[in-house]
Structures are given as C-alpha cells and as structure tokens.
Amino acid sequence: MNIQPVIDSLSKTLLEIASFLPRLINSLLLLAIGYVLSLLVRWGLRFLLEHVGAQQLGERLGFAAFLRRLGLPPSVPRFLSNAVFFFLLLSFLTSAARLLEFASLVDFLEAILHFVPRAISAALLVLLGGLGARFLATTVAALARSVNIAYSRLLASLVEYVLLAFLVIIAISLLGIDTTVLTTSFTILLAALGLAIALSFGIGSQEAARNIIAGYYIRRHFSSRQELHFGRYQGRFQATSGMYTTLEISDETGQTRLLSIPNTLFLRQIILGGPASSASAAAEAAGPQAGKPGSSPTSGTAPSASDAAHESEQ
C-alpha cells in the first residue's frame, strides 16, 4: 500500500498552516493597532469638535434635529467622531483581510469603503439642500404675503417640495444608481403640472390675475390715509388686498363707511382721473368680470359697512 500521497497531502496542509499563521498574526496585530488608532482619533476629534462649537453649528443647521428624527443621540461631535472611527476601523479590517488573502471579503469591504463617501456626500447634499429649500420657501411665502396672496403657504410648500425632489434625484445619482427613468418621469410630471397651472390661471382667472397685478402697483403708488377721489366719492386710502382696494368714505350724514373696489377699476379711475359720471358706467362694465361683488362700488348710494365687508371677503 502506497501512503506517499497521504504524506504529501499532510505535508502540504502543514505548510499552508505554517504559512497562514504568520499572516493571521500580522492581521490580528494590524487590527489591534488600527483599533487603538481609531479610538485615539475618535477621542481627539470629539474633543476638538466639542471645543470649536460643532454642536451649536449643528443646531443652527438643523443637523441635530435630523439626528433626533432618526432616533439617534443629537450630539453632533459624537456622531461625527463615531462615523470617522468606524470608517477607519473598516479600512484596517480591509487591510487585514487582504493580508489573509480573503479575496471575496476584500472585494466586499472595498465596495463598502467606496460606497461610504458617496453616501455621506448624498446625505450632506440632501441636508444642506433641504435647508436651502426651506429658506427659499420661507422667502417665497414672505414675498407672497407682502402682496396679499392668500395661498402663500401652498406656494412656498410647492417650491420646497420641488427643490427637495430634485435634490433626492441628484443624491440617488451620487450613489451610483441610474436615475434616467426617474428624471424623465419627474420632468414630465412637473411640466404637466406647470402647464395645468398656467392654463387654469391664464384662462379661468384672467380678471383675477389683472386685479392681483393691479394691486401690486396700487401698493407701490398709494399710501395709507391718502386722500383720493374715485368717481363721485372722496375718501382715504385704507388697504389693498388680493383683488380689492378699500377706501374710507363719508356719506351725506357724515358717517364713515368702507368702500371695496376691484383693483383694476380703482387703478383705471384714479390714475386716468375719469369724470364722476363715467365711474358708474365703468363699474357696470367691469362688474361682471371683477369678481361680481355684492354691490357696485360706484352705484347711486354709498355702500354700507356690511356690504363693504362682504365685498372684501369675496
């Protein structure tokens, strides 16, 4: 019986074990050194971030609130230092696996190492971009309120969500995921939404749009308590809402009343200085198109305060 193959196999196994043991010892030593270095870096980085005001900066940027929503401790220095710690430890683990010649494990760890920076970049893009989108939405809401647009909050939310959708698509592309279909679908949806808004606003709200634009010019050229003449009425300028301008007038008995006038009619009569007799005709011509208020602002009798309030609500 020939036992030489058994001896050869045993010898080969022992040689492989003998060659593997030094690599194992080196990899364990590398992991131990890497772990200690990672701990030192985490401690130093956390100490530095705590003394340069990273927590206050994270609170102002909303990063701490983002950590709370994720169910994590809201300590910004702790989160950043732990992230650096695990990234360094993963790098040392990859080097140790390479020493042990574990090719599959090395490929997997390297893929994670390459993915982590892209994930951090995408997260920072969404976080900082979300802050910028919120600031822009707040600015849009303030501008809309300054011109008395009733749907300012809806407009601001629309701007914010559209910007966030673009940021999410860009972040997904940074992760290496193909976003061609997603980008095309979102572009088509946004174009359809814009076209629908444009058609509804251009066709169904022409008179409302004219009144809103006229209200912008009225606010720029007229001041509160300014004495004005509108047709046969004389009074003081009070305020301009989205579609109507309010005048404070005095009737024959000397009682003060409020008169609501469509912005386009007010701007045309005040600036052009139409005669008193033409005010009633102009009101009749513009009445069916200017929101159909409860009483014509240039009718034969001065409107009551309740009529003016009703017109302002319309």
Strand partners, 250: 256
> In this structure, how many other beta carbons lie within 10 angstroms of the beta carbon of residue 130?
17
> 163-196 burial, b for 16+ CB within 10 Å, e for fewer?
bbebbbbebbbbeeeebeeeeeebeeeeeeeeee
Q: What is the DSSP string of 132-157?
A: HHHHHHHHHHHHHHHTT-TTHHHHHH
Please state whether the predicted TM-score (pTM) of the whole model is above 0.75.
Answer: no
Question: CA–CA separation, 13 vs 195, rounded Å?
Answer: 74
Span 72-95, pLDDT tens digits = 787 888 888 888 898 888 889 988
In terms of Cβ atoms closer than 10 Å to its own Cβ (0-12, 13-18, 19+), residue 67 is middle
pLDDT at 71: 78
Provide the 3-class DSSP secondary structure of residue 251: coil
Nearest CA to 169 among 190, 152, 192? Answer: 190
Question: CA–CA separation, 98 vs 53, rounded Å?
Answer: 39
Positive or negative: CA dihedral 127, 133, 139, 141: negative
* Token digits of residue 259: 């008169």
pLDDT at 150: 66
Question: CA–CA separation, 25 vs 30, rounded Å?
Answer: 8
Question: CA–CA separation, 48 vs 70, rounded Å?
Answer: 25
Question: CA–CA separation, 230 vs 38, rounded Å?
Answer: 79
- Measure CA 229 to chain center: 45
- Measure CA 263 to chain center: 33
Nearest CA to 242 among 259, 269, 218? Answer: 218
Span 135-160, pLDDT tens digits = 888 888 888 887 766 677 888 888 88
Strand partners, 248: 236, 258
> In this structure, how many other beta carbons lie within 10 angstroms of the beta carbon of residue 313?
11
Question: CA–CA separation, 120 vs 128, rounded Å?
Answer: 12
Positive or negative: CA dihedral 307, 309, 313, 314: positive
Run of H or E residues at 248: strand 244-250
Give the max Cα distance, the chain. 135
pLDDT at 33: 92
Distances (CA, A) of 135 to 157, 161, 169, 189: 11, 12, 20, 24
pLDDT at 289: 40
pLDDT at 40: 93
Question: CA–CA separation, 30 vs 35, rounded Å?
Answer: 8
pLDDT digit string (tens) for the chain, length 314 residues: 567 676 777 777 777 777 778 888 888 898 899 999 999 999 998 899 888 888 888 787 777 777 787 777 878 888 888 888 988 888 899 888 888 888 888 888 888 888 888 888 888 888 788 888 888 888 888 888 877 666 778 888 888 888 888 888 888 888 878 778 878 888 888 888 778 777 776 676 677 777 888 887 787 777 777 777 777 777 788 888 777 888 788 777 777 888 788 888 887 776 434 343 333 333 333 443 433 333 333 333 333 333 433 333 33
